[in-house]
Structure 1
Amino acid sequence: MSSKIQSAGPKAKDQQQPSTQKESLPPPEANAEAINFLDSLTQEELQLLLFSETLAMVSDTREPLGELTIDIQKAKRKDELGVITYCLLVHAFSRSFLDKMLCGNSLLGYLSGSLEVLEQHSHEFIKFLVLPMDRKISLLKQDDQLTMTRTVKEGEEVKTEVTNFPCKALAGFVSEAANLLLLRVMAWRQTVPNNARFLALDTEGKLCYSSYQALGFQKMQVGHQQAEVFIVEQTVHSNEGIPMSCQYYLFSDGHLAKRIQVGSPGFCIVTKMPILREEDETEPRPVFEKKPFLWEEDVELYSRFLDRKEELRLSHSSYLRHHPEARALVSDFLLFLLLRQPADVVTFAAEYFGPFAVRCPPTPTLRSSHRPSPFRSLVPERSYSRGPRPASGEG
């Protein structure tokens, strides 16, 4: 992992500090439980969790402060080379007033089918009267590394930090965008992976551990309806600061009913009961027994059969009347067949009708004891014939 810090402002020199973590601390790694949980995700399961939801942000006294919107949908993403790929788009936006100060947070992330971050942009701001704070973090996957660009603006001072994480060291990493979808998966399954240790980024942009804990079920009143919610607590264990925990109250289909950030003076809560989605049950394909088709008993079909039969009979009789040589040719062959009575009727017929071929080569004057197959002489060839066509009675 490599990083670089750039500062701008009146105190640029004083703000420069080494960005590398302490050498005595090895880089954090996700455990097998976390990696296996991410590997168990299926596309069919994720398709059921793509929807939009809106929650109200209120104070502890239920005074309205703002609103939170989360939208997860399928999307197309074009990379730097112009290649278009299908992915999951996560968009979250919140804006509220805290002690009469405007604050907000926006998140836009592109995820793969395994919740791997492809690109993410987050923006957080607090309009303090004395020293406004503005923080932006961008993640971009390029080849075999994930590049993080973190920009923090406090007043007139701007500090930018660029850090590169090798992708092979990010197994089990859960970004902010992936966390919103992962919570829906846990709610849908009604379970949390035991002792799973994921990777995440803390508020300072440092790689650290993240864990999830199931806090059980609880009945929640939403309007005139009561529903059961599944409570999950996520904790980001920062290596340098205090852990940050957030509790999510989730309906059975992944909709968020309530969100509480531990230590915050307000929380988010749903104001209208959503329509809970259920897994579609796949009905077995109907089996139809094969019944005999008795078309003779169908009056319409039998009538069409008789009409077609009479039509063909008249057509055949008309053709034979206009071509009497056909009847004579067939009668001659049948008579010759009955006189010779060969064992191989097919070969006999091929030898009989062979001389009638249009492009049949002339019969050689001297016969060979190894006579060729009569069928081969029927294959059209280039015109090598010389002399007149042999008579039908020859041979």
Structure 2
Amino acid sequence: MNPAATAISFLEGPEQVDWSRVCFQERLAAHGLRRPPPGAAPIGFQVMSVEQSERDGSPTFTVLVHRNYHLGGVEVRSELMAVIERDLQTIQQHWKQTAVWPDRQQWRQLHLVRERHQFAVQTQQGATGHEPVERLYRLNRSKMRFLYSEGALVVLQRLVAVRDHQEPVHGTAMEICGRIYPFTIEHQGWKPLAVAGALRCVRLAKTLARGNYGNESFAHLTPEGTLVAQAVHAWPVRVEALHLLRERPPLDWELDLQLVSVFTDRKLELRALFERYLREHPDVRRLLADFLQAVLVWKPEDVTEFAENFFTSYSVTYKSGEQNDQEAALNAALASVHGDWDESWLEPKAFTE
């Protein structure tokens, strides 16, 4: 079976999509892989947006991603702009990344434009004191029918979230540096997360991209498809929402009163269930007792943020073994930034004419 078959069947499914829910605008803070202490300054930021647009009378999406990080004395800037059709086929995409040291800088970029029967691809790279290296080649459009760009993956991840899709979505994508790799977007369940000062239930979506970096990312998205946190294991940063640019939905007091009424009617039954659960799980009772004691001692102003930081050490996502793996990934990523400039990424590996 073609690796893109599930992605194509997902996009061509009978379910109607409110395309306005796929659109978003987000500004997120970037941190190192380890969770910073409260009040720690971020190492950079990330701004992402997807807006509905039009090209030659047909509806399209315009994807913009801007990142700026400071990693070990190196400033890394990247920009991505893509125009995507509703079937997630790419019309054009431009990407540029620049690494700036105090005495030198290196950069590389990829520009892809759809023509009548093919895609024209231009790759460039350069460094201070070196002549720029440029490559031009073309990709067959019939083969690109099963290939998704990085900009298209941004839209696809949101589309999976707003559709509440439970089955894994597989496909084939092209890295921003030009290589081809398979990917999988998989639903990992729901979890509570502090978002814009309020506790919300968000989707945990896992994206496995077996590409040049072999990276694995975990994205936390609201039911509306808004990204509020993301960690990429092969990249030395993770991002968290500074604030949501989308307006928060109004409080539903009627629903809250209904929940209170249900709890009041079943108070004795629920209390018995809670007590039985705590008897069967003494570790949970001890954990809650420690948390309440910490609240009384520290008297935090923002209890939600305090709880998030308190329970981080008990989280499966940030257990010590994975922290060691993340530190190794961080060191490898920094080594790739500081190391020799590699021209191998310019070689088109597949789907070339």
Shift of the alpha carbon at 1:251?
0.6
Pairwise CA distance, 1:203 = 5.3
Aligned to 1:65: 43
SS of structure 1 residue aligned to 2:147: coil
| CA distance 1:107–1:227, change in 2 (3 Å) | same
| Structure 1 residue 42: Cα displacement | 7.0
Partner of 1:254 in structure 2? 225
Aligned-pair CA distance for 1:276: 5.1
Q: Distance in 2 between matches of 1:41 and 1:185?
A: 14
Could you tell me which residue of structure 2 aligns to residue 132 of structure 1? 105
- 1:377-392, aligned counterparts within 5 Å? none
Q: Is the 8 A contact 1:192 1:212 kept in 2?
A: no
Q: Report what 2:191 is aligned to.
A: 218
Given candidates 164, 168, 180, the residue that maps to 1:190 is 164
When residues 142 and 277 of structure 1 are mapped into structure 2, their CA distance, relative to the original with a 3 A threshold, is: farther
Contact kept? 1:110, 1:120, Cα under 8 Å: yes
Written as runs of structure 1 = structure 2, the 5 A alignment for 1:14-53 is 29-40=2-13, 44-53=17-26
Gaps of 5+ in 2: 251-353
Secondary structure at the counterpart of residue 239 of structure 2: strand
1:201 aligns with 2:174: yes
Indicate conservation of the 8 Å contact 2:213/2:234, yes or no.
Answer: no
Q: Is the 8 A contact 2:74 2:100 kept in 1?
A: yes
Which of 115, 134, 152 is 1:160 aligned to?
134
Gaps of 5+ in 1: 1-27, 78-82, 279-395
What pairs up with 1:337-356 in 2 under 5 angstroms? none
Q: Which has the higher helix share?
A: 2
User: Alignment partner of 2:19: what SS?
Assistant: helix
Report the residue type matching 1:213 in the other structure.
E
SS in 2 for 1:134: strand
AA partner of residue 104 (structure 1): R
- Aligned-partner residue type, residue 190 of structure 1: D
1:47 alignment partner, SS class: helix
Residue identity matched to 1:151: Q
| Superposition pairs of residues 1-395 of structure 1, within 5 angstroms | 29-40=2-13, 44-59=17-32, 60=34, 61=36, 62-77=40-55, 83=56, 85-129=58-102, 132-155=105-128, 156-194=130-168, 196-202=169-175, 204-238=177-211, 241-272=212-243, 275=247
Q: 2:202 is matched by which residue type in structure 1?
A: V
Rounded Cα–Cα distance in structure 2 between residues aligned with 1:42 and 1:152: 43
CA distance in 1, matches of 2:46, 2:14: 26
Aligned partners of 2:249, 2:122: CA distance in 1, in Å? 38
Deviation at 1:45, TM superposition (A): 2.4
**1:307-349 CA distance string (max 9 Å, x none):** xxxxxxxxxxxxxxxxxxxxxxxxxxxxxxxxxxxxxxxxxxx
TM-score by length of 1: 0.56
Q: 1:204 to 1:180 in 2, by over 3 A?
A: closer
Question: 1:39: Cα distance to partner?
Answer: 1.9
Q: Cα 1:153–1:246, aligned 2, differ >3 Å: closer, same or farther? A: farther
Matched residues in 1 for 2:14 and 2:61: separation?
Answer: 14
Report if aligned partners of 2:88, 2:152 keep a CA contact under 8 Å in 1: yes
Report the Cα offset of residue 277 of structure 1.
6.3
2 CA distance for matches of 1:158 and 1:120? 21
Give 3-state SS (helix, strand or coil) of 2:243's partner.
coil
Counterpart amino acid of residue 42 in structure 2: P
Indicate conservation of the 8 Å contact 2:45/2:68, yes or no: yes
User: By how many angstroms is 1:192 displaced?
Assistant: 4.8
SS of aligned partner of 1:243: coil
Please tell me the residue identity of whatever aligns with 1:191: H
Aligned residues of 2:47 and 2:65 also touching (Cα < 8 A):
yes
CA gap 1:41/1:167 in 2 versus in 1, 3 angstroms: farther
Maintained 8 Å contact 2:7/2:170: yes
> Structure 1 residues 128 and 234, CA, compared in 2 at 3 Å: closer, same or farther?
farther
Matched residue count: 243
How far apart are the structure 2 equivalents of 1:55 and 1:263?
A: 19
Higher RCO (CA < 8 A, seq sep 6+)? 2
Q: What do the CA deviations read for 1:135-176 (whole angstroms, capped 9, x no partner)?
A: 111111111212221112233242222232212112332211
How far the C-alpha of 1:99 sits from its partner, in A, is 1.6
Check 1:103–1:74 CA distance in 2 against 1; reply closer, same or farther (3 A cut). Answer: same
> CA shift at 1:130, angstroms?
6.1
Q: TM-score, normalised by structure 2?
A: 0.62
The two structures, once aligned, show a CA RMSD in angstroms of 2.5
Q: Identity over the aligned pairs, expressed in percent?
A: 16
1:111 maps to amino acid: I
Change (3 A) 1:272 1:165: same
* 1:97 CA drift (Å): 1.4
CA contact (8 A) 1:223 1:271 kept: yes
